[in-house]
Structure formats: structure tokens, C-alpha cells
Chains A and B, each alone.
Chain A
């Protein structure tokens, strides 16, 4: 089955190559920063603003990445699995919030206290799981680093009793900075081809 493994590795290499522009990191970073600002100012508009850039993902990919390294369409089944993992985890997170905030009568006071005290660790674990799954599926190794980042920063923040907004913003800023750095490296490495030869 070594040939299958080689093809799997080739597929992962292709994923890595297509996502070396840092665009995903920038969008994820903004979403986390939005989440942090939502906690800091207790204003859900920031949460919405954080997720807003996802709308611009495809247009930006077409404008920045495709002219430089070309366009590739991956199999729908891979995208479906990836989407299902992300959607499943987001739904679980949303469910958890609803459970904690709206369902105090369902769970005991003791359980509520525990959840309120450690809910950021639960969020960190889910986010880490999300990044690990995406990393395993795509072979993009920096996603493992983000998973570790979530666990370490959120655990330290909870242990040191720092305001959640601070360590959420720190995590988001680090991922954002990584994304911007990757984008700069990408733009330097891949110059736009000359106009007359840009498209075969």
C-alpha cells in the first residue's frame, strides 16, 4: 500500500502548496480576534465582524493566489469531510453555549459552576481538535502548532486567572501574525507572471 501512501502524501503536498499563502490563517486569526473583542466589550457585533472576512476568502484567493500559483479544485469528498468536521465542532460549541447560558434548570448548580469556570478550556480543546483534524486531513503542519497554541495559552490563562479576552486576543493575534508573515513570504516568492504569458 506504499503507492497509496505516496499518492496521499502527494495530495497533502498539493494542499500545502495551495494554502501556503496564509489566507486561511489571516481569516482564522480575524475570527478569533473578533471572538476576543466580543468577550472584552460584550458586543456580539465583533463576533460577526470577525467571521465577515470568510465571505472574501474566494475572491481574495482568486485575486492573490490563483494568478501566482494557479488554480486547483480538490475533490468534493475531501472538502465535505473537512467541512463536516468544522461544522460539527462549531455546532457542538454553539450547543455548549446554549446549554450553559439557557439551560440552568437542566444541569446541577455544581456542574454549572464547573462549566462557567472551565468553559474556555473546553473551547480550547474543541478548537485544538478542530485544528488537529484539519491538519491530519490536509497535511498542513502549522495547524498542529495552532492546536498546541490554543491548549497552552488557554490553559495558562485559566490557571493564572487572566481575563479570557486577553488570551483569546493573544491567540488570535499570533495566528494573524503568522498568516500575514506567510502572505508576505508568498508574495515575495511568487511574483505575478508577465501579462502576455499569464494564461495559457
Chain B
């Protein structure tokens, strides 16, 4: 990245924010997954208020980024799609929180 392309120093914390997580729908998904060990598709849909299609699309993006793992299992012969954060996903949401905290702190300092 050339000097012209790199963000000004005061904007550096904002540019550190992961855009994949920063999208409201994916942030909701990541936030819910970060507080539980795992959840199924129905639970995430109810909690986030997303439609089935919207949740599927966003989960796929998070899975492609390696932030979530999706597994299917059978409970009493009923299929259950279990979603959980991977270690990378957990680290990403932690970094996102820290970066956001930094951004907000700097805004308050100004």
C-alpha cells in the first residue's frame, strides 16, 4: 500500500475494523454466537430476526471467511444444523470489540 492509499493516522483504528463483521446482520450473528457454545439455525433466526434466506447467505460468508463452522447432526432422527464460532471467529469478534472500543474512546477524547 502506497502512502497515498494508507489512511491518515487518526483514521487508522477505523480502518482496522473488520468489514465482514461490521455489517449489522453479520455482527448480530457473531455477537450471538460469541456468547454461546453453539446454536442451531432456528435459534439464530429467532434471536437475530433475520429471514431464513438472509441468515443462510450471511452464514455462508462467515463460513467462507473461516469464522463459523456449520455441522449437521441428528437428534432423535431429526436433523439439526449446529453453528459455532471457530477460534478465528472468536479472535475476530474480540479484535472487532477492541477496535470499536478504541474508535469510540478516540472520538470521545476529541
Contacts and interface: CB of A to CB of B under 8 A. Distances in A.
B81 A72 contact: no
Contact of B38 (A14, A73, A199): A73
Interface string B82-99: 100000000000000100
Interface in A50-69: 62, 66-67, 69
Given A14-B32, A200-B56, A72 B100 contact: no
Given A62-B76, A74-B37, A76-B37, A3 B101 contact: yes
Contacts, number: 68
Interface of A: 3, 7, 10-11, 14, 17-18, 62, 66-67, 69-76, 193, 197-200
B36 interface: yes
B44 A70 contact: yes
Interface in B51-84: 52, 56, 75-76, 78-82
Interface of B: 31-32, 34-47, 52, 56, 75-76, 78-82, 97, 100-101
A72 B36 contact: yes
A7 B39 contact: no
Contacts of A75: 36-37
26 contacts: A3-B97, A3-B100, A3-B101, A7-B35, A11-B36, A14-B35, A62-B76, A70-B40, A70-B41, A70-B43, A70-B45, A71-B40, A71-B42, A71-B80, A72-B36, A72-B38, A72-B40, A73-B36, A73-B38, A75-B37, A193-B42, A198-B42, A199-B41, A199-B79, A200-B56, A200-B81
A69 B35 contact: no
A197 B43 CA distance: 14
A9 B80 CA distance: 27
- Interface SS of chain B: helix
A71 B101 contact: no
B41 A200 contact: yes
Contacts of B46: 17, 69-70
A72 B41 CA distance: 10
Contact of B80 (A10, A17, A74, A199): A199
Given A197-B52, A199-B80, A200-B81, A71 B39 contact: yes
